[in-house]
């Protein structure tokens, strides 16, 4: 099981808003434990998908130089069950602006236009927020692998949000 809970970005507005897609597939291992015979995509992994969407949005604002991590989930509310075959649309919007101290993100997850979840979360830089241990220089949050897998170098070449399809 990889720790990537979104599949691609479909819209990106530097410092303001990002939209990603997550496909839910029977090929994913965790669904067979959650639950046996009746797979439901775990709400906590939807929070992670939003954290990855918002995290890229906040991280990109610092050119991926900072280790941006989830510091708080103010509230996450889930309205319906997500099952294999569903395609989720995760939209993260910055509340106010991204500050050096951190950012508040308003997140909305939909499936075919239906509201699945509303999530508000905060990000901060790792060095400031948690008890830092032997943190090295390299940015292990935004590694080249992660950036390449999510095609993050092309974010700013995505079509502007108004031209986004399937929304």
3-state secondary structure of 65: coil
Burial classification of residue 108, based on how many CB atoms lie within 10 Å of its CB (0-12 exposed, 13-18 middle, 19 or more buried): middle
User: Among 135, 148, 151, 166, which residue sits at the site for another protein (rule: CB under 8 A)?
Assistant: 135
Of 122 and 164, which has the nearer Cβ to another protein?
Answer: 122
User: Among 8, 26, 40, 154, which residue sits at the site for another protein (rule: CB under 8 A)?
Assistant: 40
Q: Is 165 a catalytic residue?
A: no
Torsions phi, psi of 34, nearest 5?
A: -130, 70
Residue 1 CA to residue 119 CA, distance in Å, equals 24
Which residue in the list 34, 41, 81, 165 is annotated as catalytic? Answer: 34
User: Among 15, 23, 62, 73, which residue sits at the site for another protein (rule: CB under 8 A)?
Assistant: 73
Cα distances (angstroms) measured from residue 124 to each of 14, 21, 70, 73: 17, 24, 7, 12
Residues that bind another protein (CB under 8 A): 1-4, 29-30, 33-38, 40, 42-45, 47-48, 51, 69-78, 81, 95-96, 99, 101-102, 104, 120, 122, 124, 129-131, 133, 135-136, 138, 140-141, 143, 145-146
């Amino acid at each position: 099981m990889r720790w990537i809970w979104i599949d691609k970005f479909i819209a990106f507005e530097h410092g303001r808003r990002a939209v990603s897609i997550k496909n839910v597939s029977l090929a994913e291992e965790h669904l067979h434990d959650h639950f046996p015979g009746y797979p439901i995509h775990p709400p906590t992994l939807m929070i992670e998908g939003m954290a990855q969407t918002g995290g890229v949005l906040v991280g990109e604002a610092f050119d991926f130089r900072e280790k941006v991590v989830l510091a708080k989930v103010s509230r996450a509310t889930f309205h319906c069950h997500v099952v294999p075959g569903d395609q989720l649309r995760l939209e993260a919007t910055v509340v106010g602006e991204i500050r050096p101290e951190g950012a508040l993100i308003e997140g909305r997850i939909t499936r075919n236009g239906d509201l699945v979840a509303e999530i508000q979360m905060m990000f901060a830089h790792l060095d400031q927020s948690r008890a830092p241990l032997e943190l090295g220089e390299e940015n292990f949050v935004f590694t080249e692998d992660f950036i390449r897998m999510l095609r993050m170098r092309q974010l700013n070449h995505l079509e502007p949000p108004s031209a986004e399809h399937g929304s």
